Homo-oligomer: A and B are copies of this chain.
Amino acid sequence: MNVNNLPVSQYINELYEKHRNNHEGQVATYIPELGRADPRRFAIAVATADGFVYEVGDTHHPFSIQSISKPLVYGLALEDRGLPYVLTRIGVEPSGDPFNSIAFDERHNRPFNPMVNAGAIAAVSMVAGTGHEARFTRILNIFERFTGREPKLDLAVYSSESATGHRNRAIAYLELNARMIEGDVDEHLSLYFRQCSLLVTARDLAIAGATLANDGLNPLTGKRALRREHVRAVLSVMSSCGMYDYAGEWQFDVGLPAKSGVSGGIMGVLPGQLGIGIYSPLLDPVGNSVRGVKVCEDLSRRFRLHFLEQRGTARTAIRRSYRGSNVRSKRMRTASDNRRLDTLGAEIEVLELQGDLLFTEAEKISRRVNEDIETATYFILDVERLFHVDPVAFDLLASVRAVLSARGKELIFAGPKTVSPIEESTTDMAEWFPSVDSALEAIEDRLLGVQDQDAIVALEEFDLLADMTPEQREALSASLYEQEFKRGDILVRIGAAPDRLFFMTRGRVNVSVPVGDDAVGYRVSTIDPGNIFGELALFGKPPRTADIVGATDGEVLVLLSEALEALRKDRPDIYNCLVMAVGRSLAERLGRANGAIRALAR
């Protein structure tokens, strides 16, 4: 699969180019190791909840995770102590104070939330296990569950953090003094400095984010990183307290639960949909990565990722898909055309869409088209069951169309243009058919190379009569009379006695059954020249089950019951041939109908 075909890939490449030359901000300097970060480093990774990773830039460059460790270790504390206990020890209110504040929620005697240092130290103090090594191993484990690989410790960063972490020591001792934490403070602090010094990449952060997005199940390893009920708690505090003093505006503008760290990383989560990992060490005055914030703002705005905006579920965006070899238009073609379509029809892929079409749904569709790009030529998107289509989804699909066009392939829309933004966005876009059936019909015509819709098919060209000798056809012909019809003429009425058989020689007729009060009826099929219809006349008594109406002007040859009966007596050879032909045709049509049922019932 060529990833560059994917519109999201293209877009994050553009984003990368757009922001790489922004050199605003400063690298963190509070420990020398962070100050040595290369300010040009820049990485963007986006991982979907089903485990597909988009990435650009230095996504494999390791950096110390710093504060982004806080939500992970908070999750571990929840696993070890349970939510009710943890809530008594660490609040969930945004503090409005800086991350290294020594202010506490005095009323409840606890840190305000687990995203400030005081709360994070309280969280790590709750990690279970006996002794430093055992507890550190548990921290390493949860990192591994989230990212899919065991993190390395940056010893230089750890030593530096440990040597200069006086304020964090003060916070820890204030907490011990106020009985907010218990146990060996030095051990807790050592673990805290270590959790901050673990090395991750932007790709790791995206996968950890996707794991949170996927209810705690790592989509790459398939293993659970965090219990479902704790995921909500972690996302909740990220949502209200994850971006330092910028949390309110972040929630308003970007609207993704996220956590940033002073090394320049940001991990973002769109619940149910995707994780974002960004690395760029230049920080703004609040302590967030400058490029990171801008990329998140752009991603959120461009793809409408704000949590109050997202509703669709990408997993069900494609309701069903099938190939034109299995499901046909309602056009009843000749037996030989049908056999050709058994093969040629595979060039058509129909994707039935449903629900709301937003970023994640369109992204999913783009991947599906890209997967099948080698094996199909015509991609029909059935939009009939869509409720709302976001313009961003159309932008992504326009990119998909461009990729297809470049390869001589087509993206085709089918369905009513009632979903409002569709009409505006697509005046110049793609072919548009009023229904899947009409799209299928037109593309089948193209695949079959149908030239002349007005061609006359003489009796000797009927596939069904291929077994007859010229003499037999001649004799049959003598029993038939020609009948011209106009568009709209009724050839057969529902409920009437079946007293004649038709040989279609020119034009087309529609078979339709009345639906409710609709006088026009539901089109069951359209019959092409070269077909026989009204075959119940051959097999007996039941009244007609559908109206047959001229779809165009045309001509049929009619065999009346009496003439049929005469043939049966005088020319049993011809009669027999006819019965065999129609029986075979019915059996073949039944076989195809059962194939369509299997494809549609999936």
Contacts and interface: CB of A to CB of B under 8 A. Distances in A.
Nearest to A596: B597
Interface string A364-379: 0000000000000000
Contact of A248 (B93, B356, B589, B601): B93
Contacts of A387: 315
Interface in A559-602: 572, 579-580, 582-584, 586-591, 593-594, 596-598, 600-601
A309 interface: yes
A260 interface: no
Nearest to A91: B248
Contacts of A319: 316, 319, 354
Nearest to A316: B355
Contacts of A236: 251-252, 255, 306, 308
Contact of A308 (B94, B257, B385): B257
A307 interface: yes
A573 to B, nearest CB: 11
A251 B271 contact: no
Interface in A40-93: 91-93
A516 interface: no
Given A93-B249, A311-B313, A593 B597 contact: yes
Contact of A579 (B249, B251, B522, B583): B583
A240 interface: yes
A481 interface: no
Interface in A242-299: 247-249, 251-252, 255, 257, 271-272
B311 A536 contact: no
Contacts of A311: 271-272, 313
Nearest to A546: B591
A524 B596 CA distance: 12
Nearest to A541: B584
A433 to B, nearest CB: 16
A9 interface: no
Contacts of A579: 579, 583
B591 A589 contact: no
A233 to B, nearest CB: 7
Nearest to A352: B601
A540 B159 CA distance: 86
A569 to B, nearest CB: 11
Contact of A232 (B308, B316, B588, B591): B308
Contact of A235 (B308, B522, B542): B308
A352 B159 CA distance: 59
Interface in A520-542: 522, 524, 535-536, 538-540, 542
A416 interface: no
Nearest to A600: B600
Interface residues of A, number: 69
Given A255-B236, A539-B583, A594 B594 contact: no
A308 B272 CA distance: 9
A96 interface: yes
Interface in A455-481: none
A545 interface: yes
Contacts of A582: 583
A325 interface: no
A94 B94 contact: yes
A237 interface: yes
Nearest to A355: B316
B240 A252 contact: yes
Contact of A600 (B235, B308, B539, B597): B597
Nearest to A542: B584
Contacts of A583: 535, 538-540, 579, 582-583, 586
A239 interface: yes
A25 interface: no
Q: Which of A252, A355, A538 has the most CB of B within 10 A?
A: A252
Contact of A587 (B94, B313, B586): B586
A39 interface: no
A356 B251 contact: no
A41 to B, nearest CB: 31
A236 to B, nearest CB: 5
A307 B587 CA distance: 54
A529 to B, nearest CB: 21
Interface in A481-531: 522, 524
Contacts of A545: 591
B597 A92 contact: no
B590 A586 contact: yes
Contacts of A597: 593, 596-597, 600
21 contacts: A91-B249, A92-B251, A232-B255, A232-B306, A232-B309, A235-B308, A236-B308, A240-B240, A271-B311, A313-B313, A313-B316, A313-B356, A315-B356, A539-B580, A540-B580, A579-B579, A586-B590, A593-B594, A596-B597, A597-B600, A600-B600
Given A535-B583, A593-B593, 8 more contacts: A236-B308, A240-B252, A271-B308, A311-B313, A316-B355, A542-B588, A583-B586, A590-B590
